[in-house]
Amino acid sequence: MAEVRVKFKTPAKLGQDAALALEDYARASSTFDAAVVLDAHHHVTGVSLAAGKASVPETVAHDIERFFESLVSDAADRLGWS
């Protein structure tokens, strides 16, 4: 079984629902069967993909990171006063 890690440039906090969405997106957009969020000190640092091809195309890795950034941005937009 191959494992590939897609690390993000800027770690950030994500809620549980957003983290699950990121795992689902990473799994679905790649050729891998499983995805797990990598967490360090309560900040998401990337995703680990398992049970698929030995590599992830660079375009797919960028798509996963852009999705992560959109989740972070959406969370930040909800922090302001209503």
Q: What is the pLDDT along the chain (82 residues), one digit of tens a residue?
A: 678 999 999 999 999 999 999 999 999 999 899 999 999 988 999 999 997 777 889 999 999 999 999 999 876 556 554 4
Residue 60 belongs to domain spanning: 3-77
What 3-state class would DSSP assign to 70?
A: helix
Whether 21 maps to a domain, the answer reads yes
Per-residue model confidence (pLDDT) at position 73: 86
Residue 51 within any structural domain of the chain = yes
Distance, CA of 45 to CA of 11 (rounded, Å)? 5
What pLDDT score does 1 carry? 63
Q: Which two tokens stand for residue 22?
A: 């990121």
Token code pair at residue 7: 């690390």
In a domain, 82, yes or no: no
Is 59 contained in some domain?
yes
**Facing residues of 3 across strands?**
50
The total domain count for the chain is 1
Q: Please report the pLDDT score of residue 79 as a whole number.
A: 54
The answer as to whether 72 is a domain residue is yes
